[in-house]
Amino acid sequence: MPVGSPQGRSLLEVIDLYTHFYTPMGIARAVDGVSFKLEYGISLGIVGESGSGKSVLSRTIIDILAKNGSVKSKGKIYFEGRDLRSLTDKEMQEVRGRDIAMVFQNPMSSLNPVKKLGKQITEVLRKKNGMGVRDSKIRAIELINSVGIPDPERQLGRYPMHLSGGMRQRIAIAIALAGDPKLIIADEPTTALDVTIQSQILDLLREQQLKRNMALILITHNLGVVSSYTDQTAVMYAGQIVEKGPTKELIKKPVMPYTEALIKSAPNLDALPHSKLNIIPGMPPNVLNPPEGCSFYQRCSYAEDQCKSEMPLIKAKGCGEHTYRCWYPL
């Protein structure tokens, strides 16, 4: 158990969470009965194809879904034993940034383009940590330096447009760290970046997570990323977690056929040039009209008649840390 972890209590516990969008075409079941726990100081990768519900899950946790009457979400979300679903908007605003911080895909969408970088960081420090003007400026310089940006004092007076994509994401991470959160959720944090910069950003997140003993949720479609940067992995498909366990074990010995298919479809750097890539046949199910049985049934090479008609229950492998949703596990 990491240092500073309250005995017998998870940092984050999500219980039977549903997030449904009401559309003119019907109900889109974006998150459809998700449950998991995250311990203090642990990194969790959430992986799956586009549209599997990863980002909606993260936004439901920190309550930043649009409240326009088209969304219905139910279930329990506990953070340090506190029921986040019972908090007022003001109380939830205090949780965001101070206890739970978010790093988004595109830093230009999370940074204010007309506000100086120093102002954006010091505002968080003053609001979340109660710092004065002088102390917040000193701390902002320290944070910019900690995320690997040279000449941090000079950066205070610059605007986001003056920085490259990788530097902007480093600033976004600095802002996320400003409130000293216990959990950072990084939603595809390298998608908008050059491939040569991606590993630097992921290294930075992992370095800061370990240094500060924070928990990290890393959302990605790339199993190679979770294999290198997370302690545990949850595989999402059609709004559900279909397999979860220690990352090394899950990658080495997957139980759910969908997880195996994701692993096989990852590019092999040792393959010969122009080698044919493995693909998962078919398309993910329509979340407006999900199948009665296993959501992966139509694409699964191991499927039987039972898979078509009955939704598989969540089962545990071995000691229970590795769980899966499948009638015919590998």
Q: Is the pLDDT of residue 2 over 60?
A: no
User: Is residue 71 in some structural domain?
Assistant: yes
The more confident residue out of 309 and 1 is 309
pLDDT for 103 equals 94
- Give 7's pLDDT tier (boundaries 50, 70, 90): low
User: Is residue 186 in some structural domain?
Assistant: yes
At 306, phi and psi to the nearest 5?
-60, -35
User: Is residue 151 in some structural domain?
Assistant: no
| Burial group, residue 283, by CB count within 10 angstroms (0-12, 13-18, 19+) | exposed
Domain total for the chain?
A: 1
Using the CB atoms, write b or e for 116-142: b if 16+ within 10 Å: bbbebbbbbbbbbeebeeeebbebbbe
Task: Please name the residue that has the structure tokens 């493995």.
Answer: 278
- Give 1's pLDDT tier (boundaries 50, 70, 90): very low
Nearest to 178 by CA among 99, 240, 267: 99
pLDDT for 72 equals 76
Listed in sequence order, the residues at least 6 apart from 16 whose beta carbon sits closer than 8 Å to its beta carbon are 33, 34, 35, 74, 75, 76
The C-alpha atoms of residue 96 and residue 179 are separated, in whole angstroms, by 9
- The tokens for 184 are 């950072």
- Per-residue pLDDT tens digits for 238-266: 999 999 999 999 999 999 999 999 998 87
- Per-residue pLDDT tens digits for 32-68: 999 999 999 999 999 999 899 999 999 999 999 876 6
At 25, phi and psi to the nearest 5?
-95, -5
pLDDT for 3 equals 46
Of the chain, the percentage scoring pLDDT greater than 90 comes to: 68
Q: Which domain does 250 fall in, by range?
A: 12-99+181-325
| Burial group, residue 18, by CB count within 10 angstroms (0-12, 13-18, 19+) | middle
User: Is residue 149 in some structural domain?
Assistant: no
- Give 90's pLDDT tier (boundaries 50, 70, 90): very high
Q: Is the pLDDT of residue 270 over 70?
A: no
* Residues 281-290: contacts with CB under 8 Å, at least 24 apart: 284/49, 284/51, 284/52, 284/237, 284/238, 285/238, 287/28, 287/29, 287/30, 287/32, 287/51, 287/238, 287/239, 288/23, 288/25, 288/26, 288/27, 288/28, 288/29, 289/26, 290/29, 290/32, 290/238, 290/239
- Give 268's pLDDT tier (boundaries 50, 70, 90): low
Contact 169, 201 (CB under 8 A): yes
Contact 243, 256 (CB under 8 A): yes
User: Is residue 121 in some structural domain?
Assistant: no
Of the chain, the percentage scoring pLDDT greater than 70 comes to: 94
User: Is residue 78 in some structural domain?
Assistant: yes
User: Is residue 7 in some structural domain?
Assistant: no
pLDDT for 6 equals 57
pLDDT for 69 equals 59
User: Is residue 253 in some structural domain?
Assistant: yes
173 CB neighbour count, 10 Å cutoff: 24
- Per-residue pLDDT tens digits for 138-183: 999 999 999 999 999 999 999 999 999 899 999 999 999 998 999 9
The C-alpha atoms of residue 78 and residue 80 are separated, in whole angstroms, by 6
Report the CATH number that the domain containing residue 40 is assigned in CATH: 3.40.50.300
pLDDT for 194 equals 84
Nearest to 201 by CA among 170, 171, 164: 170
String of DSSP letters for 144-160: HHHTT-SSHHHHTT--G
The more confident residue out of 106 and 247 is 247
